[in-house]
Structure 1
Amino acid sequence: MVLQLHVWGPAFALPSIDAQCLAAIAYCSLALPKDSWELVASSDPSVSPTGELPVLQNGAVWVSRFRSIVDYLRQYSKGAWDLDNQLDETSRADNIAFSSFIESRGQSLVDLYLYVTSQNYYGNTSPAYGSLLQWPNQWILPPKLHGAAKGRTEHLGLSSLDLQAMEDQRQRDHSAAVAAGKIPKNLIQRPRDTVSSFLGRTAQSNHFRIEALTAEFFEPLEAMLGRKAYLLTAEDEGTPSSIDCIALGYLSLALVPEMSFPWLRDAMRAKAPLLSAYTERLRRRCFGDAPIEIAHAFAPESVPESAPESPISWRAPGRISVAAVGTTLLSTLADSTPFLREIRKNNGLKKVAQSEDSGLSSTEKRVLNLHAESKKKDMYVSIATVVGGVALMVGYMMQVGMLSFQTEDEEEEVEEGSGEASEAAYPTVAEFLAV
């Protein structure tokens, strides 16, 4: 049976817009025979039982996350598809440590570069998602990914790269100052910054922080690579390992895309020229010499035979079904409702804790499961508190007479009483004339 690797679709001349997906594609391209696997640009996390991409499908077996996919391929092939089989114990330890380093630091930089930087997100990233997503995901998923990236990088103190957020905050501060009476309205003048001047100040204020973040990421990898062909080989020649796939996933998104504000690519070329050449060389080996286009993923039969041969075999994704559309819309509605959103979040945590391919230890699974149960109990306590508070408020209002409920008989008595009172209050015509 041919394995299928489901990923986020192509963008920026790369086979995927996601770093983890690029790493999984690179691994399959290097380790697996070409006729044993297919690449499917499903671009829909709902196809995966865990709601994540990349995910490897082997019949009824689904395996998500890069490290779990690597472990599964090693076991499935009995070691034949293991890129790390040539590593000794020291190199294996370095592989794990530096892979974690690349994923943690690289993800933050990619988030800042593709999503938080407003010029790049609105000018490049968002249109790329619009080209590869089907309705309604093209309207739902990009804002969710944008918000998730902003949340992951909030601690870095570079939110000023998000010009829209900066403008919104400035308007909120302006409105708060007016509401508080600190500034008379007739003396307030709206700032008339041009886009170029605002971008200039933003770039200047972020320059030193960006310089430090990029140096912390690129310089250790540049020193680790040196003049070698791959990161963990001992000589100029050798074979790549799984860390090279991880590195290619993040470094290619830093180096290859043509962005409106290419600060990450410029930093990589300036600080790590050897790493830049390594990324280009490995990219051509894993993804082919020709730039990847949307047609390669969605209409592979339309690619002319004269096109350069690619190490990737594409399979066109199926059209989204009515049931999938309904599920997506319901999930979006649930995520917009606080109570339902918390339930879905807790269920997701428990699913990860119970998943065999989560990559977590038994202790981590137990802690995650306990955390999910604790969050669920806290949520139920909060709901009970709100309901109890509303009930007490209604009871108090009924007791003091602010709120009352009348039966039909009581309403009829009230109406009769009001009618009699009306008749007694106003004299008849005869009585009026007699007077």
Structure 2
Amino acid sequence: MKLQLHVWGPAFGLPSIDAQCLATVAYCSLALPRQAWELVATSDPSVSPTGELPALQYGSVWVSRFRNIVDYLRQYSQGEWDLDQELDESKKADKFAFSSFIESRGQTLIDLSLYVSSQNYYGNTSPAYGNLLQWPNQWILPPKLHSAAKARTGHLGFSSLDLQALEEQREREHSAAAATGQVPKNLIPRPRDTVSTLLGRTAKQDSFRIDALTSEFFEPLEAMLGQKPFLLASDETDLPSSLDCIALGYLALALIPELTFPWLRDAMRAKAPLLSAYTERLRQRCFGSESVEVAHAFAPQSVPPSPLPWRAPGRISLAAVWEHPAVNAAESDSDLSEKEKEIVSTYADSQKKDMYLSIATVVAGTAALVGYVMHTGLLSLAVQGDDEEEEAEEDIVQNDAAFDNVVATDFLSSANLSQI
């Protein structure tokens, strides 16, 4: 039995769209023999008893979160699969401190880049989730992740990156102006800002705060790395540690994705060129030199071999779809919002209507076919019956003519005998 690592699936050329999942994949790639584990792009947190990804499964044992998985692998292998076994106490302390730093600051920047920035979320992130998720999760999970990221970063005041929030703010201002009663609501001119002007204004308003936020994250890591191959390395012979895996998970999502509004990647390249080169180098070592595609995760047998041990995830059966709690979310006491309930309910209704329409189409087609066959058959019988009637009439006429001939012959014979 192999260890199975369940993660969010590939996106942006990386094996996962989630930083913690990327960190765990990197650790397993560096520490575990390839034949000892499998990578499953489940993209469904409900598979884990804790409702979280990444999740490591070994039989009935489930372990979630990066640090817990690392601890479990160390115990499972009796220290053989421990990337930190050569670290002294000072470096272990640095590992814990910088791991927490990367997770907290890095997650904030990833939230702002992939979720809060409207252009990136609607143009890149949301479609990426659409390629990974099955129904009904593709309707439920992305809005939840979007809302959670906005909630985590709301205190920073970067809502101007969110064009939807800007539009809502403009609507509020429009309604407030109408509420004064001096100008009819329909006569109040609406602002005609384009996306370009909004983004230009956003860059001007938030440039200083974004610059400070990115500097606080990239510059300490750039200084820590220096010319070393890895963050905690003392010389060229040292190996990567779990800190490098954590760093790769967050830095890869900052550097690699080709986004519509790549402000985070531009900041990283400008402020931390050594860190950028380190991220690309470690990415190739852990994930391979080729870009990771969705097909690697869902159809590993149909694409060239990958350095990662992908295993195709199971698919949801039709029965499981209709029994999924989300299908009846609008009528249950779930934690879905009203909009999510409306979306799921609408989609479920449309699916049912499509099913009924398909059934009606099949029935109508079958009835038409049967009607055509019966009509054709009855027509043939009618024609055949008409032919038989005509043949019978001809036989009757012929028989009558023959009878008349016989009668005439007999009459003439009787007349001749009388004359004699």
TM-score range normalised by the length of the shorter chain: 0.7 to 0.9
Moved over 3 A (4+): 182-187, 321-325, 328-333
Q: Which residue of 2 aligns with 1:79?
A: 79
1:18 aligns with 2:18: yes
Pairwise CA distance, 1:265: 0.2
Structure with bigger gyration radius:
2
The amino acid across from 2:316 in the alignment is I
The amino acid across from 2:308 in the alignment is I
Aligned pairs for 1:95-114 (under 5 A) are: 95-114=95-114
Aligned-partner SS, 2:134: coil
The amino acid across from 1:273 in the alignment is P
Distance 2:293 2:239 in 1: 28
Aligned-partner SS, 2:98: helix
Distance 1:202 1:57, change over 3 A: same
Q: Which residue of 2 aligns with 1:376?
A: none
The one of 296, 309, 312 equivalent to 1:316 is 312
The amino acid across from 1:106 in the alignment is G
Pairwise CA distance, 1:303: 1.0
Distance 1:311 1:89 in 2: 33
Distance 1:210 1:328, change over 3 A: same
Q: Which residue of 2 aligns with 1:291?
A: 291
Aligned pairs for 1:135-284 (under 5 A) are: 135-181=135-181, 183-185=183-185, 188-284=188-284
Distance 1:330 1:21, change over 3 A: farther
Pairwise CA distance, 1:63: 0.2
Aligned-partner SS, 2:206: helix
Distance 1:191 1:114 in 2: 27
The amino acid across from 1:24 in the alignment is T
Q: 1:325-354 CA deviation, whole Å, 9 max, x = no partner? A: 51344567511379xx9xxxxxxxxxxxxx
Q: 1:193-234 CA deviation, whole Å, 9 max, x = no partner? A: 222111111121111111000000000000000000000011
Q: Structure 2 length as normaliser, TM-score?
A: 0.77
2:175–2:185 contact (8 Å) kept in structure 1: no
Which segment drifts farther, 231-240 or 19-28?
A: 231-240
Pairwise CA distance, 1:114: 0.2
Aligned pairs for 1:382-397 (under 5 A) are: none
Pairwise CA distance, 1:186: 6.9
Distance 2:296 2:216 in 1: 36
Pairwise CA distance, 1:116: 0.3
Distance 2:8 2:329 in 1: 19
The amino acid across from 1:320 in the alignment is I
Aligned-partner SS, 1:191: coil
Pairwise CA distance, 1:310: 3.2
Aligned-partner SS, 2:227: coil
1:114–1:120 contact (8 Å) kept in structure 2: yes
What runs of 5+ residues in structure 2 fail to find an aligned partner?
342-420
Q: Which residue of 2 aligns with 1:88?
A: 88
1:300–1:314 contact (8 Å) kept in structure 2: yes
Distance 2:151 2:186 in 1: 38
Q: Which residue of 2 aligns with 1:326?
A: 324
Distance 1:277 1:185 in 2: 55
1:228–1:237 contact (8 Å) kept in structure 2: no
Q: Which residue of 2 aligns with 1:53?
A: 53
The amino acid across from 1:323 in the alignment is A
Aligned-pair identity (%):
74
Aligned-partner SS, 1:52: coil
Q: Which residue of 2 aligns with 1:34?
A: 34
Distance 1:146 1:25 in 2: 24
1:115–1:150 contact (8 Å) kept in structure 2: yes
1:121 aligns with 2:121: yes
Distance 1:104 1:331 in 2: 33
Distance 2:79 2:218 in 1: 32
1:2–1:37 contact (8 Å) kept in structure 2: yes
Q: How many residues align?
A: 335
Distance 1:328 1:69 in 2: 30
1:29–1:286 contact (8 Å) kept in structure 2: yes
Distance 1:329 1:210 in 2: 41
1:227–1:236 contact (8 Å) kept in structure 2: no
What runs of 5+ residues in structure 1 fail to find an aligned partner?
342-435
